[in-house]
Amino acid sequence: MTHAWIKSLFALALLGVAALATAGCGNDVPPGAVAKVGDSEITQNEFDKWLKTAVLGQAQGAPAAVPDPPDFAKCVAAKKKAPAPQGQSKPTDSQLKKQCKQEYDQLKSEVMQFLIQAEWVQQEADQQGIEVSQKAVSKSFADQKKQAFPSDKAYKQFLETSGMSEEDILFRVKLDQLQQKLTAKVTEDSKKVSDSDIQEYYDKNQKRFAQPERRDLLVVLTKSEAKANQAKKALENGDPWKQVVNKYSIDEASKAQGGRLPAVAKGQQEKALDEAVFASKKGKVEGPVKTQFGWYVFEVEKVTPASQQSLEQSKDTIKNLLRSERQQKALDKFVKDFREEYKGQTDCADEFRIAECKNAPKETKKPATGNGVSGQGQQAPSPNQPNP
């Protein structure tokens, strides 16, 4: 339970490393800072703190090795103490240093992404007049804490091993609530769906609200035509389907259901069986029918006629669908504009440049997208869910 709470509430997408001794001073970023978003600075101290938190969080109470650029001496020393995998020779200092640098570079990028996007969310919320009360933050925190930790002792132990303070946790909770309010505001107008919108969608998509004829079958599948004829004869002599299926059928799935194969629509079975089933009358034992799987003997047990949902029956489904599509469209546009606007205001020190920076390094490949999810679960840009 604790792990799930950590994952949902504190998922920084961080894997673990350490602090730089000094920040670069590229562009307009002042000394002692790693980036600047508009007039707000992201300080070296903030960066160092979240890096340390990431390291401790990954270690989960075990001794944590903090990569220390540029030489990574402490990181290499810590890795040398770890036993080599069975059957493998211990890596060299050079190889360990390379591992430390790779870990550091990955974490540096992820921590910068978190800090920059956190600043973006806070600035956008302020610009749109969105506020989250301390009372709301405290209540959300208390609810999640109660669900995640069986006791106060367990919570305190988490604080000790994770490297997070309660202040850090409350910061994350506040960010989450700000992004939820941003999402709600951005998509508010998209909730409006008129009756004419619903009518138009229904008229254009009536097939989506149609149900084809379905047939419930009883089937026996055998390896040979001779066995199929034996099964058919037994059924025609009045032997129960379950008994015949258990004796002759090689299809374990339908066998486990007493031979029943429910709600079969046209086109779902192999062609020969499909044609025979939908040409058959209810209650008559038919077959054998040869297929690539063997020989079928079957009976149509029930026929459910095709049907068409009315506009009234489909109304709620269509309304929710249109609302979801419009909300996602509005959110996608907001995310695109949001990113472009704030990226243009974000300068990073030379050693801390990432895709979110105005002075970002040249991309070698197109980054993957990740702007939330469709439907009712949309999320505004947040440190929890980095957006391209």
Q: What does the CA dihedral 196, 197, 198, 203 come to, rounded to 10 degrees? A: 80
Strands 33-37 and 346-348, bridge-based pairing: antiparallel
Could you give the CA distance from residue 123 to residue 37 in angstroms, rounded to a whole number? 9
What's the CATH number for 213-305?
Answer: 3.10.50.40
User: How far apart, in Å, are the Cα atoms of 49 and each of 17, 107, 162, 163, 168?
Assistant: 11, 12, 12, 9, 10
Q: Which residue do the tokens 């429910």 mark?
A: 262
Q: Which residues pair with 260 in a beta bridge?
A: 218
Residue 19 CB partners (closer than 8 Å, separation 6+): 44, 47, 48, 51, 52, 66, 68
Q: Which residue do the tokens 């989450």 mark?
A: 176
Which tens digits make up the pLDDT trace of 186-239? 999 888 999 999 999 999 999 999 999 999 999 999 999 999 999 999 999 999
Of 279, 275, 266, nearest to 214 (Cα)? 266
pTM value?
0.66
Could you give the CA distance from residue 266 to residue 273 in angstroms, rounded to a whole number? 10
The CA-CA-CA angle for residues 268, 271, 277, to 5°, reads: 70
DSSP 8-state code for residue 70:
T
Helix axes 225-236, 241-248, angle to 10 degrees: 160
Could you give the CA distance from residue 325 to residue 311 in angstroms, rounded to a whole number? 19
Domain ranges in the chain are 2-190+325-377, 213-305
| Residue 114 near residue 50 (C-beta atoms within 8 A) | yes
Of 269, 276, 265, nearest to 214 (Cα)? 265
- pLDDT at position 379: 39
Alpha helices (runs of H) in the chain, residue ranges in sequence order: 2-9, 44-59, 73-81, 93-127, 134-148, 152-162, 166-186, 195-204, 225-236, 241-248, 252-255, 271-279, 311-343
Q: Which residues pair with 111 in a beta bridge?
A: none
Residue ranges in the chain modelled with pLDDT below 50: 1-26, 367-388
